[in-house]
Structure 1
Amino acid sequence: MRGWVFALAVALAALLNGQADADTRRYAAFVADSNTGEILHSRLADARRYPASLTKMMTLYLLFEAIEQGELDLADTLTASRIAASQQPSNLNLSAGDTLSVETAIRALIIKSANDVAVIVAEELAGTERAFAVEMTARARELGLSNTTFRNASGLPNSRQVTTARDMARLTLALRRDFPQYMPYFAERSFTYNNRTYRSHNNLVGRVDGVDGMKTGYIRASGFNIATTAQRGDRSLVAVVMGGPTAAYRDSHAEQLLEAAFRSLNNREALIMAAQTLSPRLNPIREQDLLATHIASLDLAQPVAQGDGESLPALRVEISDDLGPPPAIERNPETVARTNAGSWSVQVGAYADAAAAQARLETIRDMSGDRLANAALATPRFATNGRVLYRARFTGVDAANARRVCAQLAAVNESCFAVAPGG
C-alpha cells in the first residue's frame, strides 16, 4: 500500500530534580505539536481533574469574544459588586464599588489570577456568575472540550467543576488561534493596579526558551496546574501538567516535558534518515526492531517508563514509505487454518528499555477499549546488532481480533503488527 505509514514510539527520559512525587489521583500531563495537533505525550490526559484557575482561560476567552463583538472596549470601566468583592484569594482585595478597566481586568486574570475580577467579568457579561458558567460550559462544548463542566468563573473549589488535561490543551490552542492579538498579555511578567505591582505566577515565562504563556492554577483538590505554550523557530508546542505536589515540581516537570518534546522534534529528521537506510525492504517487525536500534543509538537519555510522574514524553514518529507494499506471500491453506486457530500476538513497538515497552502496552490498551482487555502484556527480550531490545506485545489474541486492533490503531497512525503464532 503506497504511502504506508507507521508510528514508532520512542521513550525519552531523565529524572526530574527534587524528591516530591506526583499524586496520580490528581496528576495528568499532555503535550502536543500546536501546528499539526500531533500528540507527543499523554498520561491520564482524559482523566477527570479539577481545573483550578485554568478556568480563567475560558473566562478570558468569553471576554475576548465580547470585545471582538463590540460589547466591550479595553478602556471600558468595570465595577465590583458585593459578591465579587467577597471572593477568596487570590484577589485584588477589591471592595464593592471599586472600578477597573477591561484591560486591567485582563491583566488581573492572567497575572494575578484574581478571583474577584473573574466574578466582575462574569456579572458584566451574563448578569450572574451562575449564568456565566452555563455560557462557559456551552462554549466549551463548541470548542471540543467534551469532558469539561464549569460552575464558576474563577476555578475556586466546586466538586462539579471538572476538566481534563487534553481539554485544557484544546482551550489553550483555541485562545491562541482565535485571539492572537491578545497573546502578548500572557507573556507579561507583572502589572500595577492602585499603586501596587503584582507579579505573574507563571514562572516559565522568561525562564524557559520560547515559553510565551498561558496560565497556572491551584486549589487543594487539584494540586498545582499549568497550561503553557512555547515557540522555537517554526515549532510550536502546548503542554499541560496537572496535579503537581508543589509549584516548583509542576514548573520543573512542565519545563522538562517541553525540552524533551523539542529535542524529539529536532531528532525527527535523523530518525527518518535512519529509516531510509533500511534497504532492501524488511518485514515490518524486523524493521521496527532495527529502527529501535537506530533510535537508541542517537544522543538521547536512557528511557524510563513513558508518562509516569517523573519521566519525559515519548514521541510518536511517523515515517513515510514510498516503496510500496511488501510482496505478497503465498501460503498453504492448511497452514493458514492452523495459524488462525493458534494464539496470535499484537506488536506495538520495540524499545531499548523494558519499562518503556510496558508503558507503551498500557497506553495502547487504554486506547483499544475492550479489544485487548483479556490479552496478556509481554515484553520479550531479544538482541540485535549488539544491543538488547524489548518488544511490546499483547499475547493470547485470536487472529481476527489482532487484525481488528491493528486496523483501529492504523486509523490513528499508531504502530501495530498482527503476529502469527511462532512469529
Structure 2
Amino acid sequence: MQGSIGRRWRGRWFVLAAALAASLGASSARADRMASIVVDAGTGQVIQQVDATRIWHPASLTKLMTIYLAFTALESGQISVDEALLVSPTAAAQPETKLGLREGKTITVAQAIKAVIVRSANDAAVLLGERIAGTEDAFAIMMTLKARELGMTRTVFHNATGLPDDGQVTTARDMAILARALMTDFPERYPIFASTSLQWGGRTLTTYNGLLSAYQGADGLKTGFTCASGYNLVGSALREGRRLIGVVLGGRSSGERNGEMARLLDSGFHTPVLPSFPELTAMPDGDNQDAPRQLSSAECSTLPSASLEGGTGKLPGWAVIFGAFADQAKARNTVDQARKALQAVLKHGQPAIIRRQQEGTYRWAALVVGLGQDEAKAACRKMQADGGYCLALNPDVLNSPSALWR
C-alpha cells in the first residue's frame, strides 16, 4: 500500500515538475534579463531561483533595511512612533521620490516609516537614518553590519535610500533573507507593508507597489527602480495559511516586473516544499568579484520616462535638457555623452527621451530627470562653460504641457 502511494506521489510530482519546467522555459527570455528567487517563508526553503546570488543594484529595495533598523530602534526604545523628527537640510535636499519635507519642519517617526514604505520617500528615509545613527553615512555602516549579521553576505549599503551609488549592491537571495527577517523579527509591525495609501499634506498618496492590489493574498513589501537596476520588487503573499516571499530584480517595466512576480508566486504556491529543497541561508555565495548587472544604455534610455517608481506620467524632480533632435538615436547618444562629460557633478538622475510634436513632425528631447535643484544647475553651468547647450528645468516647467521645451 505504501509503495502504491509512493508511486502515485512520485507520478504527481513528475507531472508538476514537468509543468514547472515548461513554465520556466516559456519565460526564458525574461529570466535572461532578471534575477529572481521564491522562498517558503515558513520553512526558509528555496522553491526556485534564477541568478539569485548575482550582484545587482538594489535601488529603493535598500529602504527595507532602513525600515528594519527603524523597527529595531522602536523595539529598543531608542525612538518612539510619536516622536517628532526635525527635517534636516540633507533630508530636505533629497531628490525624488520624496514627500517634499521642508527644512525645519517636523514629521513623526510613524509618518516617516509609512512614507518610506508606501511612497519610497527619500527625504523620510534619510531623516530616519540621521535620527538613529547621527548621519546617513554612519547609518549606512549600520545597515551593512546588520546585513552581515542576518546572513546577507553579498550586500553593501552606502545610503539609506537606494539612490544610485556604484558600490551599493545586493542579490535576490540577500533581499529574500531581509524580507524574511522583517517578518520573523517584527511580526506585529510587518502588517504596515500591506498599506496602500497614506495621508499627507491634505492629500491621499497611494502606494507604488501595484502587486498589493493585483495579486491575491499579496501583503508586501517594496518596489525599487533606478536606471542601473531596472525595476525591482520584493513581494510576499499569503494563501491558505502558507506564505511565500518573492524577489525579482531587473525588469524593464513595472508591468513586466509585477507579471514575473505573479508568475513566480503562482508557480510557488503549486509547488510542495520537499525536504531536499535548499535552505535560504545555505545557498552558495558565488563569485564576489562579479560586476553589478546593469541595464544597457539603450535599455535605460527607452524606459518609460516618468518611472522612478510608479509610472504615474509625472517626470520626477528637476531636470536638465540637452536639446531636441529629429533622430531618436541621436537624442539617446547626446544624453549618454552628456552624462559622461558631467559625471563629476551628475551623481543622480535617469535619462529620459521625450517625443515632441512640432508642426506635424516629431523631435526627441534629450533630458536627465530626477535631479535636485543644485545638481541640475551645477550640471548646466559646467556644460555651458564647456560650450554645450544645457537648460535646467524646475519640476513645474518640466511637467507643464505648455512649456516651451515641450
Q: Same fold, TM exceeding 0.5?
A: yes
Q: Does 1:159 align with 2:169?
A: no
Q: What is aligned with 1:345?
A: none
> Deviation string for 1:64-117 (max 9, x for gaps)?
000110111111111211111111100011221121111111110000000011
The 2-side partners of 1:173 and 1:263 are apart by 20
Query: Tell me, which stretches of 5 or more residues in structure 1 are unaligned?
Result: 1-5, 266-315, 320-365, 371-423
Q: How far apart, CA to CA, are the structure 1 residues paired with 2:213 and 2:286?
A: 42
TM, length-normalised to structure 1: 0.59
CA RMSD of aligned residues (A): 2.8
133, 140, 147: which one aligns with 1:133: 140
The aligned counterpart of 1:46 is 53
Residue of structure 2 in register with 1:58 after alignment: 65
* Aligned: 1:32 with 2:43: no
Greater RCO (CA < 8 Å, at least 6 residues apart):
1
Alignment of 1:171-186 (within 5 A): 171-186=178-193
Are 1:201 and 1:216, in contact at CA under 8 Å, matched by a contact in 2?
yes
Q: Which residue of 1 aligns with 2:378?
A: none
Check whether the contact 1:23–1:245 (CA below 8 A) recurs between aligned residues: no
Q: How does 1:11-410 map to 2 (within 5 A)?
A: 11=18, 12=20, 13-14=22-23, 22=30, 24=32, 27-265=34-272, 317-318=274-275
The count of aligned residue pairs is 268
Letter in structure 2 aligned against 1:205: L
Deviation (angstroms), 1:236: 1.3
| 2:53 and 2:284 in contact (8 A); partners too | no
Distance 1:59 1:368 in 2: 24
CA distance in structure 2 between the aligned counterparts of 1:105 and 1:82, rounded to whole angstroms: 16
Offset at residue 10 of structure 1 (A): 2.1
The share of aligned pairs that are identical, in percent, is: 43
Distance of 1:158 and 1:66 partners within structure 2: 26
> Is the 2:31–2:50 contact (alpha carbons within 8 Å) kept by the matching residues of 1?
no
Q: Quick check: 1:32–1:38 contact (8 Å CA) kept in 2?
A: yes
2:253 alignment partner AA = T
Say if 1:22 and 1:245, in contact at 8 Å, map to a contact too.
no
- How many Å separate the matches in 2 of 1:23 and 1:40? 16
Contact map agreement 1:23 1:243 (CA 8 A) in 2: no
**Distance change >3 Å, CA 39–CA 20, structure 1 → 2:** closer
Unmatched 5+ residue regions in structure 2?
Answer: 1-9, 277-282, 288-406
Q: Could you list the per-position Cα deviations for residues 306-344 of structure 1 after superposition, in whole angstroms to 9, with x for gaps in the alignment?
A: xxxxxxxxxx7458xxxxxxxxxxxxxxxxxxxxxxxxx
Distance in 1 between the 2:68 and 2:245 partners?
A: 17
Equivalent AA in structure 1 for residue 101 of structure 2: L
Does the 8 Å contact 2:53/2:171 carry over to 1? yes
Instruction: Please tell me the residue identity of whatever aligns with 1:144.
Output: G
Q: Deviations over 1:256-280 (max 9, x none)?
A: 1001111123xxxxxxxxxxxxxxx
TM-superposed CA distance for 1:138, in Å, is 0.4
Q: Is the 8 A contact 1:169 1:240 kept in 2?
A: yes
Deviation at 1:20, TM superposition (A): 12
